[in-house]
């Protein structure tokens, strides 16, 4: 029996996660978002496929440990291509992580507006991946041309059974990190004369602020429902589910605009992690 990938939101999200064709994956994610926002999809169906342990991927890139990925100067074309390739990999993982939070937690007692927010994230992460990939192609490269690391999916996998922990790790650590580092990357790209890549980074940065805000909103919602202090709960969940410490410097202004104040993260830096 063939499963209609757009039978329900959970089914569509799962089919997109399973897809090894990255054009198909991002197109399905965006079409599911459109239909869900138009209220043309149910949330769940008995026919929904099972979620995989890992998202579908093409044969390339080869996945290696994070420390095995090479760092290069952005003042060279190979260095800019390497940075954009790493960014494309981050955005692709972000597509699957947004879809996974929808599909994995579709039975959670949360309002439908929770899924509205995460499908908006999935739509925008799909847009980001395509933009970065098109920029790579314009520079004579493509996604898959060099190795990439698997740290993002592994970081999220530890929270597969706990929605509050998932929100702490993915939007409030991994995505919030983008708010810290992207402005300086934009500036470096402009310094090298690569205005097109800098413009892509600007779009991503502006959207990511909204993604962190969605994560913070629902993290606070779940904490309030359980009568837990958000900042204390965040620290507890991060220490239990995230390896390593958080790295300064922080973009405190952008984080605060997204609802993530310093009381959440300052004590989790390497200097204060003991």
Statement: residue 2 has pLDDT above 70:
no
CB atoms inside a 10 Å sphere around CB 70? 11
**What integer pLDDT is reported at residue 59 of this predicted model?**
93
What is the pLDDT confidence band of residue 68, given thresholds at 50, 70 and 90?
low
What is the pLDDT confidence band of residue 270, given thresholds at 50, 70 and 90?
low
Q: What is the pLDDT of residues 211-261, one digit of tens each?
A: 999 999 999 999 999 999 999 999 999 999 998 788 889 999 999 999 999
Q: What is the pLDDT of residues 70-93, one digit of tens each?
A: 777 898 999 999 999 999 999 999
**What integer pLDDT is reported at residue 213 of this predicted model?**
98
**What integer pLDDT is reported at residue 104 of this predicted model?**
97
DSSP label of 8? B
**What integer pLDDT is reported at residue 188 of this predicted model?**
95
Q: What is the mean pLDDT of residues 98-118?
A: 98
Q: What is the mean pLDDT of residues 144-157?
A: 86
Q: What is the mean pLDDT of residues 182-187?
A: 96
* Fold adopted by 67-272: Ferritin (1.20.1260)
DSSP symbols for 170-192 = IIIIIIHHHHHHHHHHHHHHHHT
Two structure tokens written together for 65: 């440990």
Does the model's pTM come out above 0.85?
Answer: yes
Q: What is the mean pLDDT of residues 41-46?
A: 96
Q: Where are the domains of the chain?
A: 67-272
Two structure tokens written together for 269: 């830096």
Q: What is the mean pLDDT of residues 149-170?
A: 89
Alpha helices in the chain (DSSP H): 9-18, 22-37, 77-104, 112-138, 151-157, 163-169, 176-191, 195-225, 230-241, 252-257, 262-265
Half-sphere exposure of 150 (CA within 13 A, CB side): 11
């Amino acid at each position: 029996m063939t499963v209609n990938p757009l039978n329900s939101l959970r089914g569509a999200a799962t089919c997109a996660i399973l897809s090894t064709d990255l054009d198909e994956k991002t197109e399905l994610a965006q079409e599911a978002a459109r239909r869900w926002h138009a209220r043309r999809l149910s949330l769940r169906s008995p026919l929904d496929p099972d979620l995989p342990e890992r998202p579908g991927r093409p044969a390339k890139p080869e996945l290696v440990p994070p420390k095995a990925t090479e760092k290069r100067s952005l003042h060279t074309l190979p260095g800019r291509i390497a940075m954009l390739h790493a960014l494309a990999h981050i955005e692709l993982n972000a597509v699957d992580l947004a879809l996974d939070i929808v599909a994995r937690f579709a039975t959670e007692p949360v309002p439908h507006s929770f899924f509205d927010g995460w499908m908006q994230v999935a739509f925008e992460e799909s847009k980001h991946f395509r933009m970065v990939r098109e920029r790579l192609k314009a520079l004579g490269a493509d996604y898959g041309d060099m190795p990439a690391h698997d740290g993002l999916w592994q970081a999220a996998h530890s929270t597969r059974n706990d929605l509050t922990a998932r929100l702490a790790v993915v939007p409030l650590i991994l995505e919030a990190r983008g708010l810290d580092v992207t402005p300086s990357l934009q500036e470096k790209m402009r310094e090298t004369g690569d205005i097109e890549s800098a413009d892509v980074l600007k779009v991503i940065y502006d959207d990511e602020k909204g993604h962190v805000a969605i994560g913070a909103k629902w993290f606070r919602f779940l904490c309030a429902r359980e009568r837990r202090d958000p900042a204390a709960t965040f620290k507890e969940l991060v220490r239990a589910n995230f390896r390593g410490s958080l790295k300064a410097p922080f973009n405190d202004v952008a984080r605060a605009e997204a609802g993530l104040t310093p009381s959440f993260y300052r004590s989790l830096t390497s200097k204060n992690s003991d």
